[in-house]
């Protein structure tokens, strides 16, 4: 009798374990993403570290790169610090430029306001806006809001799930265009402020030249973007027990015709790792 009892109990334990495993296996890829997003919504503080790099050309030569760290406090306050490896001189209009000078560090302070992340100050600083785009919390919000396809990747590490998330190409291109046009407006606001430092007798001529250059640059950007193909793919690694993210990486590929009519390829790769949730 005892033998039969223990055998029945052992079988019952196995059934319970299999049932518990089955609960997580019944989640779809979409369920896992929303599980993670809900878990993040309950975090008051966390830290992350990451890197980003831009590759251009057929041979995918790396042109720019940056390392960054971030800290979320009180759920709505976020700071992102960067170190630009092997670079020091920064042109606010074109980004990182390798010069072999000592690395430079920058900090962007953001706050959650009106359903999105925005700079707390210096909103017309193109460089800080570029740093803000590295924010993985904002990337998760963008994923949640956009059309997408989500699948579960095989070969995930023990206790994790890995999701492959591909954004709708047309919507991704549209959102990219909105961001770039916004940054163009920031550039215009910046040079208008700089005009105040130009002598009054030279100001009209300088303003005319700047306005012409800006208009031509914007028209060229819009034209190239209209003909471009965009592909944005994220990989999100999730802890199965807590649902919290471990890692979020992305690859944004843009293929377009340049001003000379030649085909260009540009790829932005980001990789963020999350730590210290509270």
Please name which of 249, 239, 243 lies closest in space to residue 272, comparing C-alpha atoms. Answer: 249
- Residues 5, 9: Cα–Cα separation, whole Å: 6
- Proportion of the chain above pLDDT 70, given as a percent: 83
pTM of the model: 0.79
Please name which of 66, 62, 130 lies closest in space to residue 94, comparing C-alpha atoms. Answer: 130
User: For residue 4, is it within any domain?
Assistant: no
User: For residue 1, is it within any domain?
Assistant: no
CATH value at residue 203: 2.50.20
Whose tokens are 């592909």? That residue is 231
In this prediction, residue 92 carries a pLDDT of: 35
pLDDT tens digits, 192-211:
888 888 888 888 898 898 88
Domain of residue 49, residue span = 28-53+63-275
User: For residue 186, is it within any domain?
Assistant: yes
Number of domains, the chain: 1
- Residues 173, 181: Cα–Cα separation, whole Å: 12
- Residues 112, 160: Cα–Cα separation, whole Å: 29
User: What are phi and psi for residue 270, nearest 5 degrees?
Assistant: -125, 155
pLDDT tens digits, 217-268:
888 888 888 888 999 999 999 999 899 999 999 999 999 888 788 888 999 9
Residue 82, burial from CB neighbour count under 10 angstroms (0-12, 13-18, 19+): buried
Please name which of 209, 232, 213, 211 lies closest in space to residue 221, comparing C-alpha atoms. Answer: 213
What tens-digit pLDDT sequence spans the chain (278 residues)? 434 433 444 444 433 333 344 445 688 999 999 999 988 888 899 999 999 999 988 777 888 889 999 999 999 999 999 876 544 333 333 333 332 333 467 899 999 988 899 999 887 777 888 889 899 999 999 999 999 999 999 888 889 999 999 999 999 989 888 888 888 888 888 878 888 888 888 888 988 988 898 888 888 888 888 888 999 999 999 999 899 999 999 999 999 888 788 888 999 999 999 998 88
User: For residue 19, is it within any domain?
Assistant: no
Rounded to whole angstroms, the maximal C-alpha distance in the chain is 106
Residues 6+ apart with CB under 8 A from 197: none
User: For residue 106, is it within any domain?
Assistant: yes
User: For residue 83, is it within any domain?
Assistant: yes
Residue 173, burial from CB neighbour count under 10 angstroms (0-12, 13-18, 19+): buried
User: For residue 18, is it within any domain?
Assistant: no
- Residues 54, 56: Cα–Cα separation, whole Å: 7
In this prediction, residue 16 carries a pLDDT of: 38
In this prediction, residue 152 carries a pLDDT of: 95
In this prediction, residue 100 carries a pLDDT of: 32
User: For residue 252, is it within any domain?
Assistant: yes
Mean pLDDT of the chain: 81
């Amino acid at each position: 009798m005892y033998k039969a009892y223990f055998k029945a109990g052992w079988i019952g334990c196995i059934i319970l374990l299999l049932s518990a495993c089955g609960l997580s296996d019944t989640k779809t890829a979409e369920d896992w993403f929303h599980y993670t997003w809900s878990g993040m919504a309950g975090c008051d503080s966390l830290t992350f570290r990451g890197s980003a790099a831009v590759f251009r050309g057929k041979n995918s030569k790396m042109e720019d790169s940056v390392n960054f760290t971030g800290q979320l406090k009180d759920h709505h306050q976020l700071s992102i610090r960067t170190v630009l490896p092997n670079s020091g001189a920064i042109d606010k209009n074109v980004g990182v430029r390798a010069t072999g000078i000592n690395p430079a560090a920058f900090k962007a302070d953001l706050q959650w306001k009106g359903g999105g992340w925005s700079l707390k100050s210096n909103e017309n600083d193109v460089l800080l806006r570029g740093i803000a785009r590295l924010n993985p919390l904002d990337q998760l919000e963008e994923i949640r809001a956009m059309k997408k396809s989500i699948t579960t990747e095989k070969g995930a590490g023990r206790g994790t799930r890995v999701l492959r998330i591909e954004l709708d190409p047309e919507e991704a291109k549209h959102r990219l265009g909105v961001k770039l046009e916004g940054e163009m407006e920031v550039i215009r606001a910046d040079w208008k402020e700089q005009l105040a430092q130009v002598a009054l007798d030279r100001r009209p001529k300088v303003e005319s030249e700047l306005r012409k250059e800006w208009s031509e640059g914007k028209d060229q950007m819009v034209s190239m973007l209209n003909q471009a193909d965009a592909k944005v793919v994220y990989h999100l690694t999730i802890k199965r027990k807590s649902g919290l993210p471990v890692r979020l990486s992305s690859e944004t590929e843009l293929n377009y015709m340049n001003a000379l009519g030649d085909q260009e390829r540009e790829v932005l790769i980001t990789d963020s790792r999350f730590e210290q949730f509270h």
